[in-house]
């Protein structure tokens, strides 16, 4: 499967570079992976995904921050994220993925959960 991924990555390399998309090795979460993961999470999780900037603008309080890691695949990372977030009672969350220039051997996501302003 990794060979197929490398073939697809190699074939799409020229298009990705011309489109300005980050191209990285198999061990990182790139733009197309992020779109797929977030689309699947939206189907499985009740909480609303927001950006860190939106959380600040909305005056939200940070409830918890944790890292989710998969050494298997981006799909496995999405499954782990869904498991963590589907049981959460927090109404909002944000996700920051590992840097595409990382030489790490794992797919990583830093999740922060938020709750509303305390009046």
In a domain, 30, yes or no: yes
Closest listed residue to residue 49, CA positions, set 84, 93, 111, 81: 93
In a domain, 95, yes or no: yes
Per-residue model confidence as pLDDT tens digits over 8-59 = 333 333 333 333 334 445 556 677 778 888 889 999 999 999 999 999 999 9
Mean pLDDT of 60-86: 94
Range of the structural domain that residue 74 is part of: 25-115
Indicate which CATH number applies to the domain containing 109: 3.30.1660.10
Residue 70's contacts (CB-CB under 8 Å, 6 or more residues apart) are: 76, 77, 80, 106, 107
- Phi-psi map region of 59: left, alpha, beta (phi>0 left; psi -120 to 50 alpha): left
In a domain, 1, yes or no: no
Structural contact between residues 82 and 93, judged by C-beta atoms closer than 8 angstroms = no
pTM of the model: 0.68
Total domains in the chain come to 1
In a domain, 83, yes or no: yes
In a domain, 90, yes or no: yes
DSSP state of 98: P
């Amino acid at each position: 499967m990794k060979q197929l991924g490398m073939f697809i990555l190699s074939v799409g390399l020229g298009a990705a570079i011309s489109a300005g998309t980050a191209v990285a090795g198999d061990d990182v979460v790139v733009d197309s992976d992020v779109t797929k993961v977030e689309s699947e999470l939206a189907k499985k999780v009740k909480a609303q995904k927001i950006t860190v900037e939106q959380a600040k603008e909305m005056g939200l309080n940070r409830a918890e921050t944790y890292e989710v890691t998969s050494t298997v695949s981006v799909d496995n990372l999405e499954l782990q994220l869904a498991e963590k977030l589907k049981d959460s009672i927090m109404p909002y969350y944000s996700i920051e993925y590992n840097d595409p220039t990382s030489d790490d051997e794992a797919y990583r996501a830093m999740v922060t959960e938020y709750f509303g302003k305390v009046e």
